[in-house]
Amino acid sequence: MPRSYLRDLTEYTAVRTAVTLLHCFDVRTNLATAAGIGSLFCRLHSRHYRRAIEHVADAFPDWPAEQCERVAMRSIENMFRIFIVDAMVMPRLITKSTWPQYIRIGNLKDAMDHFIRNKPAVFITGHCGNWELLGYALAVLDYPLFALARPIDNPLLNDWLLGVREARGMRIITKWGAIPVLQRVLRTNGRAGFIADQDAGEQGLFVPFFGRLASSYKAIGLLALRYDVPIMGGFARRIGDRFEYELSTLDVIRPEDWADHPDPLFYITARYTHAIEKAIRQAPDQYLWAYRRWKSRPRHEREGRQMPSRMIAKLESLPWLTPRDIDSIIARSNQAARRQAR
């Protein structure tokens, strides 16, 4: 259905009014309110809540049902905290003089060394912790990124939120026609940023993610290969229920790490996906479990065939996977293929 200007204006006015009202209260109160709205959302839109529970149980099969439900609820509450409160107060609270009150610097040594040398790099994170704040905070520290993002359908809201995101120097690139821009960024010693845990569709590269194959972006690895630059995984983890975060580096994938690998693109994609999984394991209640991360399936599953030997060989080439991990991934994939064949 085509959008109308009246609809866009109505949505924009409602959001700006709500934000104005929120600023009448302190941040801690607003975070509690946002969590309450998230809890209510779970009850009114139980389909998303049930999906989140299923995904948590799938990723952590040893957890009891009560723990899966609690983590799923907390993850949705965290999502509402990010969008209703954090995104709106960042420009006011996080500045060059005040950021130490809200941000702790964790294990960022490798990333900071790279920043100081002003070298190009690809930065990735996932929908865990606060992905919006991560890039914003780096810009406040005078290390801005050029980040890839999908524009919001409402152009009035999109322009307003774009201004919020770019308030301290980060630059947002919309998905349409983004690759040439990112290529230019890397050629000129810039830093390109991606939220790298979205489903990449049936044409994506399928790599392990919590014991199942998940479709992941090829573009991240292709950029790193073409420009011979490292990929750095970052994470902004919320501390407690406060507007306070710890920034850390999850992994640094350097060109020498993939130089001798038989399939460098697969290795890079699998390793940055593994880095995101490590972040989620640190704070599972801060991941967006309601997202359909495993929606797309590899061709052999869609066609009801067993996992091909070439895929098994690729899994065996990943040094962080144990034989037990590989056997489990193969078994789950083959089970999905058998269901498809019926």
Residues 265 and 324 in one domain: no
Residues 285 and 306 in one domain: no
Q: Is the pLDDT assigned to residue 114 strictly greater than 90? A: no
Residues 6+ apart with CB under 8 A from 36: none
Contact 251, 271 (CB under 8 A): yes
Residues 51 and 167 in one domain: yes
Number of domains in the chain: 2
Domain that holds residue 302: 297-342
Q: Is the pLDDT assigned to residue 287 strictly greater than 90? A: yes
The residue-averaged pLDDT of 214-234 equals 94
Residues 250 and 119 in one domain: yes
Contact 42, 73 (CB under 8 A): yes
Residues 290 and 335 in one domain: no
Residues 219 and 232 in one domain: yes
The reported pLDDT for the residue numbered 154 is: 75
Model confidence band, residue 3 (pLDDT cutoffs 50, 70, 90): low
Q: Is the pLDDT assigned to residue 12 strictly greater than 60? A: yes
Residues 138 and 214 in one domain: yes
Residues 228 and 321 in one domain: no
H or E stretch covering 19: helix 5-22
Residues 140 and 268 in one domain: yes
**What is the b/e burial string over 44-77, where b = at least 16 CB atoms within 10 angstroms of the residue's CB?**
eeeebbeebbebbbebbeeeeeeebbebbbbbbb
Residues 322 and 213 in one domain: no
Of 277, 296, 315, which residue is a domain's last?
296
Residues 233 and 318 in one domain: no
Model confidence band, residue 173 (pLDDT cutoffs 50, 70, 90): confident
Residues 147 and 207 in one domain: yes
The residue-averaged pLDDT of 41-62 equals 93
Residues 6+ apart with CB under 8 A from 60: 67, 68, 284
The reported pLDDT for the residue numbered 175 is: 66
